Amino acid sequence: MESPAAAAVQTNQRPPALSIPPVANDLRAGKHLVFRLASEDFSIRVASVQEILGIMEITSVPQTPLSVKGVINLRGRVIPVVDLRLRLGFPAQAYAEQTCIVVVRTRPAGFDLLTGIIVDEVSEVVNILAEDVQDTPDFGASIPSPFLLGMARINDKVRILLDIDEVLKGHDIAGQP
C-alpha cells in the first residue's frame, strides 16, 4: 500500500500537510530574555541570566579571539566579556546607548562560569509556550547549528532560541570557578 504523499506525487497533486503535535513538556518553553542583534530577535532562558548592565569600560586582553572583548570588574570579580555579534558572525557595530552586557551563568566544564555577552539591545522577558516552539530548520550538513534550540513564533515574529552554553562552549575563555 502506498502512502498518501506517494499517491499525490503520482497524480501530480500536492501531498497532504503533515501535522506534528507540539511536545507537551518541551524544555525550550518557559521564560526567556529577548534581545536584539543586528535586526534579529534572539532569546536565552532567563534562568541563565545573572544580571543586565549598561555598556562599561572593558579591559582588553591580548591574544584573545576577536569576539572576546576583554574583561570587566563585576563587584570585585573579573569576568570575560564576549561580543555576541562577532561570536555569531554578524558584522561589528559601534556600541550605542542601548547596548547592554548580559551577565550569564554557564557550566562549560562542570563549574559555574560568569560571562558577559554584549547585545545591541535588551527587549523584554517573554513566556514562550511549547506550542510556539518549532525545531530549527535544516540548513544542510555544511552549516552546523548546535547552539540553536529552535524558533519561537510570538505575535507574528520569529525569535531565535539560543543555547547560551553551546554558544560560549569551546570559546577560548579562560574561566575560573
Q: Per-residue pLDDT tens for 42-78?
A: 999 999 999 999 999 999 999 999 999 999 999 999 9
Determine contact, residues 13/2, Cβ cutoff 8 Å: no
What is the CB neighbour count within 10 angstroms for residue 123?
A: 16
Residues 32, 122: Cα–Cα separation, whole Å: 11
| Better-scored residue on pLDDT, 112 or 8 | 112
| Better-scored residue on pLDDT, 40 or 23 | 40
| Better-scored residue on pLDDT, 32 or 7 | 32
Q: Residue 118: pLDDT above 90?
A: yes
Q: Residue 140: pLDDT above 70?
A: no
Q: According to the model, what pLDDT value does residue 171 have?
A: 56
Q: Which helix (H) or strand (E) holds 50?
A: strand 49-54
Q: According to the model, what pLDDT value does residue 9 have?
A: 45
First to last CA, the chain: 60
96-115: burial string, b at 16+ Cβ within 10 Å, e else: eeebbbbbbebebeeeebbb
Q: Residue 8: pLDDT above 60?
A: no
